[in-house]
Structure 1
Amino acid sequence: MMSSKNNVFKSAIALLLCGSIISCSDKKVFDDERESNDIEFFISASENETASYLLAVPDITAKEKLTIKGKGMESDAYGSWLFPTPYVGIGLQYRKGDPGIGIGIALGPNGKIIKSGSEFQIVSRFTTYGVFQEKVLSVVEGIVQRDDKGNMDNTKLYSTFNFIDPANNNAVTTITKSTTNLTGNGEYSILSGVVQFGANNFLTALVPRQFKEGLDRDGKPTLVMSDTQYPDSVWIASFDKDLKMTKLYGDDRISYAAGRHRSQFYNTIGADDEGNLYAFAPRNAITSKASGVLKINKGASEFDKNYYWNLDEEVVKSGISSSPSFNRIHHVQGDYFIVEYLIKGTNPIEKDVPSSNALAIVNVRTKEFKWVKNIPDYNYYPKFHTPIADGGKFYVPVKEVDKLPAIYIIDPVTGQATKGLEVDAKDINGIGKLRKK
């Protein structure tokens, strides 16, 4: 039997080793010599506004700190991550008025993140996006069409769709078509969100806008959008792969189902595990309707007339009186969804207000609403980045002011969050999960 003296000696040696070069916690989570798994978590972490490190790690729930410098694949900073297949991730970077750029990544045979396909450009820009038929589909609104002589079509506004295909070297197929008068009221429709619904269709929320002739910043004729005449209605459209509208759902109990932050339109529709669709409509400045939820039953051709849930009332009952709105929703499992809220905080911030700073868990069947516990205080404006739902849990990167970013794991049943992996970086732009090919 080993003596206690030897045990103490070996423990001291272990502590000395832990203090050299790399911490023990780092080595446990990220070890260049470890044998990689067939499935790994993906982390995009940035040290500044323009560059990121892309890493694969076996576990993001560990209460440890990961150092990224000199590790992983270096890349531009991509603010949005989507996973059209279990094997490929697509990063998108929004660049305001300039064309967007993107990259494909995969889990290499040695367990490291590698490029997958070519880097690409989205010339038209993008204002919303999602996954459809193992491709990433981005859409941009407010496109004015002109003929070869520069004459403007003043009767319609158009939308440009970009299909990014990981199976074809990330080739981008661009289609521009009119989304004017989709609802029959003559107005233009901005598309918000892309949600695959069945094998052959995707759903998107329509955000109506009036338009008329005007002048652009250079004084040239263009079409200018303004607020809709019909703010108290919701419209959900179904499109096939050829962008033919196959079905239109409408209702007057809520406003349009779309979140917005600056020029980006965020998804607020989602399906449960049974194939029923829920449309979440946040409060907006021009509607008389409360924030609410409606349901389209699987296979139905219209909204369920017997289902309506007033979310504003739930917020008031929870003790929040500032009438906050929400910007995004995420399906977690079963009947549970995460709703990202923006609540006015008490602590002033120096830079831009984030798109959301509080998370709620909702059960759309039982109509149970609760704020997620044990996440950073909304009064200090934490930022949430690209999350994933996996195995019945919700994983979200969170950045607090003057603190290292960390990944929080949320149990939708209890509403409790647990802090997992902390990353020694400026921010965590997104997380995901990848399988080796």
Structure 2
Amino acid sequence: MNNHLFMRAMCTLALPAVILSGCSDNEELSDETKPEETNGKFVIAATVTDSKGTTNILLTAESLDEGHISVGNNTGLLNDGASQWVFHPGNYLYALTYNQGNAGTTRSYLLNSDGDVAPREMEYKISRFTSYGIYKDLIITTSTGSAPASQADGNGYLPKTLLVSYLDVDAETSRQNDTSTGAYSVENYFDNGEYVTLAGLEKSGDRIFSGAIPMGLSQYGAAVENGKWIRPGYEDLVKTADGGSNSSSYKKGELQWTQYPDECRVAIFNDETLTDPTFAKTDRISYPCGRFKSQYYQTIWAADNGDIYVFSPSYAKTMTDSRQKTVLPAGVCRIPAGSSQFDSYYCNIEEQSEGRSFMRCWPAGGSRFLMLMYDRPFTEKNFVATDFAIFDAEAKKLTFVSGLPSTVSSIGKTVFAKDGYVYVSVNVTDGDPAIYKIATTTAQASRGLTVDKATDITGFGYMEVKK
């Protein structure tokens, strides 16, 4: 693989969308992706970019293993695109839109009786989000923001609070949480003064597991009792003026980024209210999320048996100040099914990757996971996410994927796993994009469905006709 080319693509990758695929051959399906129900189809999101701009198209296909579909000949459903496409298992597709910190417009789709992708009636405004998840009949998005003015302290500083949007997929409604009571405060979340943001919402049983990512001291937190929560010797980390930009902006009086980089905590919620969490804590890995600009990628996933595997890329190694750098390697710990605490399970990822970490990971079936790896350690400059690997959690074994093209420009943000294979969309600089299937036992990739005349495949999934 051309690592540098793939890396540049990943560094500039905007939030891709998961989408539906249309038009298909009438070839017999392979066993790997043959739907159990005859009214189901794979949905692929494709884009076409030319001198007139970018066109977003939702298509459908019968198989991911082979063949071609096309964005030409007036096939597929035109749409406005999305920051993140989310497939709900109730056979709905949601287009979540992220508009540079402001509310975005979201709408949903289904497969009609003809097996075509069709938009549903309602559109919604949802809060800015940095993470999302599925819980029963809900799609939930979260971010951290400022509480209402009524909760300001004597300096006028506002505490940080959790901003939640709830999309009820069956009722086709949307609502936001009530932050006026203080019940969603994320200040002093761990009794050390720091506020948090959540990364991922993973359902196991009836509970929700989320990475609680420490963000440092807000203006509100740093001012408590004249700096009660500022660690001795860390006073110079408090900002003396506003500064930074975009996701790295800060305010005078706050202490940006955590003072405790060698800890990992998972918030465990009993239901969708996302209040009154219990915490699983370990000091064997750093905080559990991948990072890219303002996005906090989920790295907490349930295996098929309900065990929760908690991955940490140790992104705190990239901090400028040594006091905020972690000394812990990228690694994996586990919360057994039904438990609220970590067990003794631990695996050091860097020992098997020449010191490299990862940007993202996804479930790949059973207790295996697909990982998007960086091309060099965080201790070196210009690291980029260039390679894939399969991690077998039971065997504690990391195997790099072979068989991908050398001209990759970007990948989609979602994957599909079935019968020992995990599928990922791959866009290239010298041809049409395609979906590749990776055997999770051998980490060997092979080319599957190709989308002719498209610029990108930004995501894909499987749906059945909604009755």
TM over 0.5: yes
> What amino acid sits opposite 2:39 in the alignment?
D
Q: CA deviation at 1:164?
A: 1.1
Change (3 A) 1:28 1:297: same
Question: Structure 1 residue aligned with 2:303, among 272, 275, 299?
Answer: 272
> What amino acid sits opposite 2:202 in the alignment?
V
Q: CA deviation at 1:132?
A: 1.4
Question: Structure 2 residue aligned with 1:192, among 173, 191, 199?
Answer: 199
Q: CA deviation at 1:230?
A: 0.3
Change (3 A) 1:38 1:220: closer
Q: CA deviation at 1:222?
A: 7.8
Change (3 A) 1:242 1:401: same
Q: Is the 8 A contact 1:50 1:77 kept in 2?
A: no
Q: Is the 8 A contact 2:48 2:456 kept in 1?
A: yes
Counterpart of 1:337 in structure 2 is 369
Q: Quote the Cα distance in structure 1 between the aligned partners of 2:123 and 2:47.
A: 19
Counterpart of 1:315 in structure 2 is 353
Matched, 1:300 2:336: no
Change (3 A) 1:53 1:381: closer
What runs of 5+ residues in structure 1 fail to find an aligned partner?
1-25, 31-35, 317-322, 346-352
3-state SS of paired residue (1:147): helix
Question: Structure 2 residue aligned with 1:140, among 117, 140, 143?
Answer: 143
Q: Quote the Cα distance in structure 2 between the aligned partners of 1:217 and 1:231.
A: 21
Q: Quote the Cα distance in structure 1 between the aligned partners of 2:388 and 2:358.
A: 9
Matched, 1:180 2:187: yes
Deviations 1:309-339 (A, max 9, x none): 00001102xxxxxx43312211121111111
Change (3 A) 1:355 1:116: farther
* Superposed counterparts of 1:29-428, under 5 Å: 37-48=38-49, 50-68=54-72, 70-122=74-126, 124-147=127-150, 154=157, 156-176=159-179, 177-199=184-206, 201-213=207-219, 215=242, 224=254, 226-239=256-269, 240-284=271-315, 285=318, 286-304=325-343, 306-316=344-354, 323-343=355-375, 356-377=385-406, 382-423=410-451, 424-428=453-457
Deviations 1:108-151 (A, max 9, x none): 100100013412222x3111111112211111123343139998
Q: Is the 8 A contact 1:54 1:72 kept in 2?
A: yes
**More deviation in 217-226 or 269-278?**
217-226
> What amino acid sits opposite 2:396 in the alignment?
K
Change (3 A) 1:426 1:175: farther
Q: Quote the Cα distance in structure 2 between the aligned partners of 1:371 and 1:427.
A: 24
Q: CA deviation at 1:37?
A: 4.2
Q: Is the 8 A contact 2:160 2:218 kept in 1?
A: no
Greater RCO, CA 8 A, separation 6+: 2
Counterpart of 2:460 in structure 1 is 431
Q: Is the 8 A contact 1:40 1:433 kept in 2?
A: yes
RMSD: 3.0
What runs of 5+ residues in structure 2 fail to find an aligned partner?
1-22, 28-36, 220-240, 319-324
Q: Quote the Cα distance in structure 2 between the aligned partners of 1:92 and 1:355.
A: 26
3-state SS of paired residue (2:57): strand
Deviations 1:256-304 (A, max 9, x none): 0101111011000111111111100002222111000001112223111
> What amino acid sits opposite 1:97 in the alignment?
G
Q: CA deviation at 1:29?
A: 5.8
> What amino acid sits opposite 2:372 in the alignment?
E
Q: Quote the Cα distance in structure 2 between the aligned partners of 1:216 and 1:283.
A: 25
3-state SS of paired residue (2:311): strand
Q: Is the 8 A contact 2:376 2:383 kept in 1?
A: no
Counterpart of 2:16 in structure 1 is none
Change (3 A) 1:27 1:89: closer
Deviations 1:198-247 (A, max 9, x none): 12x21110111222436589999887461111000000001222222342
Q: CA deviation at 1:27?
A: 5.9
Q: Is the 8 A contact 2:268 2:277 kept in 1?
A: yes
Q: CA deviation at 1:99?
A: 2.1
Aligned pair count?
A: 391
- Report the structure number with the largest CA radius of gyration: 1
Change (3 A) 1:100 1:390: farther
Q: Quote the Cα distance in structure 1 between the aligned partners of 2:384 and 2:105.
A: 22
Q: Quote the Cα distance in structure 2 between the aligned partners of 1:260 and 1:208.
A: 13
**More deviation in 88-97 or 265-274?**
88-97
3-state SS of paired residue (2:192): coil
Q: Is the 8 A contact 1:53 1:68 kept in 2?
A: no
3-state SS of paired residue (1:118): strand
Counterpart of 1:350 in structure 2 is none
3-state SS of paired residue (2:95): strand
Q: Is the 8 A contact 1:356 1:383 kept in 2?
A: no
Counterpart of 2:19 in structure 1 is none
Q: Quote the Cα distance in structure 2 between the aligned partners of 1:63 and 1:265.
A: 35
Q: CA deviation at 1:159?
A: 1.8
Q: Quote the Cα distance in structure 1 between the aligned partners of 2:387 and 2:244.
A: 37
3-state SS of paired residue (1:362): strand
Q: Normalization by structure 1: what TM-score?
A: 0.82
Q: Is the 8 A contact 2:201 2:210 kept in 1?
A: yes
Q: Identity across aligned pairs (percent)?
A: 28
Q: CA deviation at 1:65?
A: 4.8
